[in-house]
Structure 1
């Protein structure tokens, strides 16, 4: 009897887990390993989503059920390109799928952007989400802060900066993050969007969540709050745009509060032009933009300056290059056609695939990765069917990759190990009337997972 198809998926975030789920439901019998750099699974959901998003965190429950399925195995604390390389994986698996996501900040090329206290959103998120490789200290001595961006990531950063630390105690926020936010000097957070309110990428739920933050006043500045013909058409034809604009309009009409501890300001049609300062960020100079009737904008040549002492750019993510895999540095993606990874000549590298943000770029919500994974898996299965048994290598057995990792001294973690770590984090939280307290240090995570304490 033909043995199951053996597939390695690099990355255990939503993209990788959804790919494993779809593959496990195929008529073709499969053995699937998800390999991750982190000792724990879930990728973006554990380390890239703000801790006060219980709805999105609830996705963990669905991912957990998938990773418990027979034929799917989680192997963590494995650094692809260091602990194992593509040749190793192609020797031990019939196919390899890269689902490594996009974790690097896209650059904002303006003067002064490299001043101290100018940060990328991804770095800040990694800090407050307890990413093991992120610094554990973060200076929050600025009273006025700029956030550049018009998507949900910008909203997350702005909300966490403007929120009261005690309102995060019900979450899994690490203790050092709570203490830093508790002592934060922030009074005003200014969010700058280059285009108008109808062109933002906020989702209605994310935006409206801001209205339920105690002690936070929402200030929508009327300057720049403009709609052109394209904006009006979007409002008529897109309920999401309609809801976002209506929400912002309602906030703009409110009277200012006198007892707010912090204020979150929205500035539209303002293009970041220069970060001002000498030894650190001291201000943000923006160009006033105007809508051109088709949803695009153009500069007016008029500039404004807002005094700020820190800046966070949330202008997009980029994927990171992968050892022995082609990479497009402009788009931050792996070149592919329908998930089939392409070499420099545009030819499919047999048995190598990709899915998620490293495949298509960091666009769309978490749920969009399901359709993305379906395309990749369908093409992988079509290639398998076309090649017949010749697609399967003679060598691989499920135990072989574990033997290789043991020989190389890699302290890999397993699904059972994650369940131990999960129970430990929950017990830490229970002792303080919280759902969980996240363990941050990699060595401690590995020790708990492998029961090496």
Structure 2
């Protein structure tokens, strides 16, 4: 009797959504062969490059993800980019199922005059810079001070403000890159402004992140008591009610703090303001023009009342979009067009690529498990037999692609940790693909030969 061929699955993207999907699949189909591709040599996606460097507790989830990568049947192939090294069509031909888990890496633009001036950055690029993402490590942001505006009322906006406001001593134990640490420490910042289009109850930051702003050594939060409502109002969802009550409680506590005029750094919370234009001179930012808003039916409506905020840097933290990929069109929301995670027969999508940039890391677990269920149903209805990894390996060898294995990543991980230990940090990241591949060549256990593809910096 012929033994049935194991199902083959390719997951494009080795971040949280993809790893949760891989774990769900391999638990139900332990005989499956699952390849996880990532365009970078490193796994873990936004846990590595998006979570704030001083939130090491959150980043500890990589230990769970590392166990998934180490499970029999799961293979990591880093430095393999779909669209550059292999096409989506080729993957669909080679595997029984393909799952897109590529996230939403592109910053949404403000869409206002002046946003192309020097000193304006999207939060994805800015956070990627201080987290050492190869796409953004060379950003060299203009932090000439004394003012910085962060547009957005979510946790990312708070992360940016907090990282800029903290002292070097407060960043001890963080994996902030050496370049970012030097730049931020030298920046003559005195006023950081966090701007929200709607009111404090519509803000999307979590209470834990908000409360953290009141614990900083040299920075003092500034909240106008008049901007806060008397009560959080009535919400249908008890969890939402508790969240709003806690948010208002924390904001009231921050507003009641002593005057912050003498503090070295002040973090101002502005509610019901919308950016109208970035002001500049000689090609660089000098200010941000704001309009007062009023909230009607949950939407911010711009009024004619304006004010100019003197800042030299503007960081927009207003969301992200997916990157276009041939064979996976985006819908009008900027995500891969799908129905409950199904894009086309045998093609699926999870995470931010599926639903947009919302939720925290664990939010992806339930989403990925639900889509994994649909993938399993698809596999059960098909006659497995596509070659999967064998076909991909032949393509990569023929094209001279240097794929980075999990064992390679383990060596790279060890090298980063060793570099960090010398500087008193959890790790010192390699911030270019070229440096990562060079480190692999120099690391103990490196192969005698390597593929010939030129690394992208």
Task: Give TM-score scaled by structure 2 length.
Answer: 0.91
1:358 corresponding residue in structure 2? 353
- Deviation (angstroms), 1:235: 10
The yes-or-no answer on 1:265 pairing with 2:268 is: yes
- Deviation (angstroms), 1:258: 5.8
Asked if structure 2 preserves the Cα contact closer than 8 Å seen for 1:91 and 1:393, the reply is no
Partner Cα separation in structure 1 for residue 299 and residue 355 of structure 2: 24
Asked if structure 1 preserves the Cα contact closer than 8 Å seen for 2:120 and 2:314, the reply is yes
Asked if structure 1 preserves the Cα contact closer than 8 Å seen for 2:197 and 2:273, the reply is yes
Distance 1:89 1:304, change over 3 A: same
Q: Residue 25 of structure 1 aligns to a residue in which SS?
A: helix
Larger displacement relative to structure 2 (257-266 or 372-381): 257-266
2:451 corresponding residue in structure 1? none
2:292 corresponding residue in structure 1? 288
Q: Residue 165 of structure 1 aligns to a residue in which SS?
A: coil
Partner Cα separation in structure 1 for residue 230 and residue 294 of structure 2: 10
- Deviation (angstroms), 1:259: 5.1
Task: Give TM-score scaled by structure 1 length.
Answer: 0.92
Partner Cα separation in structure 2 for residue 147 and residue 333 of structure 1: 25
The yes-or-no answer on 1:241 pairing with 2:232 is: no
The yes-or-no answer on 1:382 pairing with 2:385 is: no
Partner Cα separation in structure 2 for residue 66 and residue 378 of structure 1: 17
- Deviation (angstroms), 1:283: 1.6
Considering only aligned residues, what root-mean-square deviation do their CA atoms show, in Å? Answer: 2.0
Partner Cα separation in structure 2 for residue 247 and residue 213 of structure 1: 15
Partner Cα separation in structure 1 for residue 289 and residue 235 of structure 2: 30
Q: Residue 372 of structure 1 aligns to a residue in which SS?
A: helix
The yes-or-no answer on 1:410 pairing with 2:401 is: yes
Partner Cα separation in structure 1 for residue 227 and residue 286 of structure 2: 23
Asked if structure 2 preserves the Cα contact closer than 8 Å seen for 1:234 and 1:242, the reply is no
Partner Cα separation in structure 2 for residue 115 and residue 139 of structure 1: 11
2:416 corresponding residue in structure 1? 425
Distance 1:28 1:40, change over 3 A: closer
One of 305, 308, 318 as aligned partner of 1:305: 308
- Deviation (angstroms), 1:291: 3.6
1:106 corresponding residue in structure 2? 108
**Deviation per residue, 1:123-168 (Å, 9 max, x gap):** 1111111111224222211211111101111111111122223422
Asked if structure 1 preserves the Cα contact closer than 8 Å seen for 2:97 and 2:379, the reply is no
2:366 corresponding residue in structure 1? 371
- Deviation (angstroms), 1:37: 0.5
2:48 corresponding residue in structure 1? 46
Distance 1:218 1:154, change over 3 A: same
2:428 corresponding residue in structure 1? 437
Partner Cα separation in structure 1 for residue 291 and residue 253 of structure 2: 26
The yes-or-no answer on 1:336 pairing with 2:330 is: no
Q: How many residues align?
A: 438
Partner Cα separation in structure 2 for residue 50 and residue 6 of structure 1: 35
The yes-or-no answer on 1:278 pairing with 2:278 is: no
One of 84, 87, 112 as aligned partner of 2:86: 84
Partner Cα separation in structure 1 for residue 71 and residue 103 of structure 2: 23
Distance 1:235 1:115, change over 3 A: farther
**Deviation per residue, 1:99-144 (Å, 9 max, x gap):** 0001111111222222221111111111111111224222211211
Partner Cα separation in structure 2 for residue 27 and residue 312 of structure 1: 44
- Deviation (angstroms), 1:236: 9.2
Partner Cα separation in structure 2 for residue 236 and residue 220 of structure 1: 27
Partner Cα separation in structure 2 for residue 20 and residue 383 of structure 1: 15
Q: Residue 307 of structure 2 aligns to a residue in which SS?
A: strand
Q: Residue 56 of structure 1 aligns to a residue in which SS?
A: helix
**Deviation per residue, 1:224-271 (Å, 9 max, x gap):** 33468xx41149942111111110111111112465321110011112
Distance 1:111 1:227, change over 3 A: farther
The yes-or-no answer on 1:153 pairing with 2:156 is: yes
- Deviation (angstroms), 1:443: 1.2
Asked if structure 2 preserves the Cα contact closer than 8 Å seen for 1:121 and 1:153, the reply is yes
Q: Residue 241 of structure 1 aligns to a residue in which SS?
A: helix
Larger displacement relative to structure 2 (249-258 or 6-15): 249-258
Partner Cα separation in structure 1 for residue 28 and residue 230 of structure 2: 48
One of 33, 36, 39 as aligned partner of 1:34: 36
Partner Cα separation in structure 2 for residue 290 and residue 333 of structure 1: 30
Partner Cα separation in structure 2 for residue 2 and residue 190 of structure 1: 61
**Deviation per residue, 1:38-97 (Å, 9 max, x gap):** 101001111111101112111111111111111111100011111011232123211110
- Deviation (angstroms), 1:449: 3.3
Q: List gaps (5 residues or longer) in structure 2.
A: 449-457
Q: Residue 142 of structure 2 aligns to a residue in which SS?
A: coil
Asked if structure 1 preserves the Cα contact closer than 8 Å seen for 2:143 and 2:312, the reply is no
